[in-house]
Structure 1
Amino acid sequence: MRASARIFWILAVFFLIVAIMYGLLTGLYEPLGIEPVGFPAILALSGLAAMIGTYLTLNNRKFGTRPEDRLDAEVEDEAGVQGSFAPYSWWPLWASLGAALVFLGVAAGWWIFALGIIVSISGVIGWVMEFSTGQYRH
């Protein structure tokens, strides 16, 4: 994870530099100042890369050197259970449908955006709470 964290930190710094340069260059040509879409989008891209870099850095500190960080690692070093996944869950479908409606709503209309928020929140809550029913209830 150390190499992946470094890559995302490099990307975060790169996109921050690009956002600053983009803001300065478009500010020279726009009569009202900074261009309203590109500068915040590139700045958000830098923030997203920093979030992933932070996550990978914290996981590297918590779990130490992983097999993918070692040059002498074998494929079977990472063998075993990778997680617990619901085999026949419909909740990811609803969460992704809600996300698609949210993105469509930004372009087409705010009422579609609101509907997408409702569908995606219910999908994510159902997905998270899927194993908290029946005998697994807390």
Structure 2
Amino acid sequence: MKIQGKMFLWLALFILVMAIVYGVWSKEPAGTTALFLAFGLSVMIGYYLAFTARRVDAGAQDNKDADVADDAGEVGFFSPHSWQPLALATGGALAFMGIIFGWWLLYFSAPIILIGLYGWVFEYYRGENQNQ
């Protein structure tokens, strides 16, 4: 994680220089603001990764002599049969169409998003997947 933190901090420095150059040359506030926000986002991510790298053990990516297989192992648990992302995608699509066609579509999309989110969070607390 140490390398990724440094990469984001160097990217933030590059974006800062480009934001200043763009702001001086173009005198256009929207693009300049977007570049300064991208700078802030890169600093936050880089700081988080650098801060976290100090608190955890060094990974294989921090060792120059490491092989790809050194970082192999369990990544995490991912639900293999969940229908909840479909509900969230449907609700999200309706919500974004509400921006285009009319805000009244949010009345239909908000319940779908909330039901999908509730179902996803509590998926393993009820039904056949309930942990005993």
Provide the TM-score with structure 1 as the length reference: 0.67
**Which residue, 73, 79, 92 being the options, matches 2:85?**
92
After superposition, the C-alpha distances for 1:12-33 in whole angstroms (9 at most, x for unaligned) are 1211222233223232xxxxxx
Q: CA deviation at 1:77?
A: 2.1
**Residue of structure 1 in register with 2:57 after alignment:** 64
Could you tell me how far apart the structure 2 residues matched to 1:14 and 1:121 are?
Answer: 40
Alignment deviations for residues 54-94 of structure 1 (CA, whole Å, 9 cap, x no partner): 33223312212101111222333222211011111233334
- The CA distance in 1 between the partners of 2:122 and 2:20, in whole Å, is 42
TM-aligned CA deviation for residue 125 of structure 1: 4.8
C-alpha spacing 1:58/1:38, structure 2 compared with 1 (3 Å): same
| 3-state secondary structure, aligned to 1:82 | coil
1:46 Cα offset (Å): 1.7
Answer with 1 or 2: which has the greater Rg.
2
**Aligned equivalents of 2:105, 2:20: Cα separation in 1:** 30
* C-alpha RMSD of matched pairs (Å): 3.2
Q: What's the TM-score once normalised by structure 2's chain length?
A: 0.70
- The answer to whether residue 46 in structure 2 is matched with residue 48 in structure 1 is no
Q: Indicate if the aligned counterparts of 1:99 and 1:116 stay in contact, CA closer than 8 A.
A: no
1:18 aligns with 18
Distance in 2 (CA, whole Å) between partners of 1:58 and 1:113 is 42
Q: How many residues align?
A: 129
Within a 5 Å distance, the mapping from 1:1-138 to structure 2 comes to: 1-27=1-27, 34-35=28-29, 37-99=30-92, 108=100, 111=103, 114=106, 118=110, 123-134=116-127, 135-136=130-131
Give the 3-state SS of the residue equivalent to 2:123 in structure 1. coil
Distance (Å, rounded) in 2 between the aligned partners of 1:116 and 1:50: 38
Ranges in structure 2 where 5+ consecutive residues have no aligned partner: none
